[in-house]
Structure 1
């Protein structure tokens, strides 16, 4: 007999004891009397003892039945308490929420949101680890991750939060000195800021219906985004960034977007979890809050 079946029969047994009759138990449980009789017989067969003395007029607990009733009430009470605790956590999440995200996106969007969550939920703790690499959620113990770009097929569950663009920018001063390019191919002979990443010096564009790859010559190369953006602001050349990374500089006029008609398709922003179901309340809260914060996010 499975544990679920035994709990079901245990509830049936307690109902018989509480109602004092098989008929009363059937009414309380919303089932038929024959079903109650069969369930009691099955439980007694499983335990190997008789739980009730039964006659045509009355039903009474045996000594074994009284002991089993006390144990059953304790088990069912503990189960009810655990259920109530989980329901309470839905409205007041507890425990440690471990999240990972790309460095700059985490600083700009995830960290402020986590701060608000912790402020509003006193029993919640949060740890945000920022990496510009793909993290193994299960092996490294994370509840969820934010990822930008196409996702490899895996057992992980992804929920799309928004999209970002891949843009090319330069400072107004640099554009004034060297001119504004009209086609990505012109970048081959221009000053560019590079990154020591997987794509290396190859910048990708879309020219009409076809993909276009342009190999640039970097004056300076960085492994982090922030100094690359600073180099572009200082007029060292063109840089290729995700739109959110340069949004503040574009907004205040320190950088200008060029070649917008040749941008590749937007990249999805996704929140990744190890499982689709039975997520802790704190993880569901994080996902729902990120969805709300980034609703319609497109840069």
Structure 2
């Protein structure tokens, strides 16, 4: 048997969750996909999928084989990419993911510029604040902010994020100056998902628990609340910089600003990146 036979079909079924979706993705028939997967299972001597009239799921053996199958696909892509590298114009599809707000405001406008420059490139972007498994989900490139947890991935630093504490001038006039971290104990702090705010105090990182009357997982909502004088907010600079320039907000506790965090382009450990992915990473790094 051709050792590759059925591998692409199996990965497509596992990714799409159905034989119909896999057939559409591979531009073939459902019968052909089913036949190839059955042949693969027969050659391996293991059942990879459990099928009922309503559900399809990976067996434990299928879950093990899926990760290796995706690596085999990447290895084949690397081998072909190595032949056409360097001098060729970027072309092909890039699967990309980024945090929702940062992706909407900063990454996608740059991706659009990149696509105008290289019209042979197609992009599939998933904006999500969840950290996707790049190998498992077939993602070529992820934009991540802060400390990187997965050391098996490759990364290139694109930019950095500063975190600022801001209030409206009206709030500051009513409540008085905020010059020390200790002053936050008597302030109405506008909270996101974190229980603590980060600061640097004489070279030592401190995590300060804060309280307040509003908690929301939207940075834009917290920004609006701060502009309306509801309280003190700690947000990345790209949320608040326009409001600071317009004097709707002022910064406080600047002497305690935490260390800048990296903004990264992260990609799976592959020997050869396609020309398109490499060019996009370089373009983002230059632009940001």
Secondary structure, counterpart of 2:136 in structure 1: helix
Give the count of matched residue pairs.
209
* Structure 1: segments with no counterpart, 5+ residues: 1-81, 295-299
Mapped pair 1:125 → 2:122:
yes
Q: Which one of the candidate residues 136, 139, 143 is aligned to 1:139?
A: 136
Give the counterpart of 2:105 among 108, 114, 119: 108
Check whether the contact 1:185–1:214 (CA below 8 A) recurs between aligned residues: no
Distance 1:279 1:290, change over 3 A: same
Does 2:84 match 1:86? Answer: yes
Aligned to 1:44: none
Alignment of 1:1-299 (within 5 A): 86-87=84-85, 90-195=87-192, 197=193, 199-200=194-195, 202-294=196-288
**Partner SS, residue 147 of structure 2:** coil
Output the TM-score relative to the length of structure 1: 0.65
User: How far does residue 153 in structure 1 lie from its aligned partner after superposition?
Assistant: 4.2
For residues 101 and 134 of structure 2, what CA distance do their matches in structure 1 show?
19
Unaligned 5+ runs, structure 2: 1-79
Give the conservation status (yes or no) of the 8 Å contact 1:170–1:237: yes
SS at 1:135 equivalent: coil
| TM-score after normalising by structure 2 | 0.68
After superposing on structure 2, the runs of 4+ consecutive aligned residues of structure 1 that deviate more than 6 Å are 82-85
Structure whose alpha-carbon radius of gyration is higher: 1
Secondary structure at 1:275 match in 2:
coil
Q: Distance in 2 between matches of 1:104 and 1:122?
A: 26
How far apart in 2 are the matches of 1:279 and 1:95? 12
